[in-house]
Amino acid sequence: MFPVAPKPQDSNQPSDRLMTEKQQEEAEWESINVLLMMHGLKPLSLVKRTDLKDLIIFDKQSSQRMRQNLKLLVEETSRQQNMIQELIETNQQLRNELQLEQSRAANQEQRANDLEQIMESVKSKIGELEDESLNRACHQQNKIKDLQKEQKTLQVKCQHYKKKRTEQQETIASLQMEVCRLKKEEEDRIVTQNRVFAYLCKRVPHTVLDRQ
C-alpha cells in the first residue's frame, strides 16, 4: 500500500493550490516508481478512496522524507550494484591477467627448460670439442717430438755425410796429387828412358852384350 497525502479537513473550502500540490506529490511518487522499476523493484500503488480503515496516512513532510529515503536507498543500491559490477569486471580482468601471466610463466618456464637443454647440449659439444682438441694437441705434440727427433737424426747424418764428403774430397785431392806425381815421374822416366835408348842407339855394338 502506498501513502497518500492528507486530505484537507474543510471539504467545503476549494483549493486549487492543494490540488496542485497533490498532483505534484503524485508525480513525485510516480517518478519514484519509475526509479524502483528501473532497478527491478515493484512499484508502489496510489490509493484513491475515502475508506481509511486499512490505510496508514503520512503527513506531507513524512511523505517527502520517505520519497527522499527511497530515492537515496535506490541510488545507494544502484551505486552498490555499479560497484559490484565494477568489482566483478575488475576480478574478471584480474583473472584474465592472472591466466595470461600463468600462460606467460609457463611459456617462460618451457623456454627456460628448452634453453637449459640447449645449454647442456652446447656444454656436451664443447666438452667433446675440448677432448678432441686436446687429443689433437697431444697428437701434434707427439708428432712434433718425433719430427724434432728425426730432425736431430738427420742433422747428425748430414754432419756425418758432410764430414765423409770432406774426407772424400781430401782423399780425391790427395789421389789427384799422387796421380800428378806419378804421371810426372812416369813422364820423367819415359824421358830418361828415351834418352838412354837414344844414347844406346848411338853407340856401336862391339861386344855380344851390346848386341843383346
Please give the mean pLDDT across all residues of the chain.
82
Give the C-alpha distances (Å, rounded to integers) separating 126 from 40, 119, 129, 138, 195: 74, 10, 5, 18, 98
Q: What is the pLDDT of residue 5?
A: 45
| Structure confidence at residue 8 (pLDDT) | 46
Dist CA 155 CA 164 (whole Å): 14
Instruction: Give the per-residue pLDDT at 146.
Output: 93
pLDDT tens readout for residues 13-30: 545 666 677 788 788 888
Q: Please write down the HEC assignment for all residues of 98-128.
A: HHHHHHHHHHHHHHHHHHHHHHHHHHHHHHH
Tally Cβ neighbours within 10 Å of residue 63: 19
Judge whether residue 42 has pLDDT over 70: yes
pTM (two decimals): 0.41
Q: How far is CA 29 from CA 20, 43, 54, 62, in A?
A: 14, 9, 20, 13
CB 43 within 8 A of CB 37: yes
**pLDDT above 60 for 123:** yes
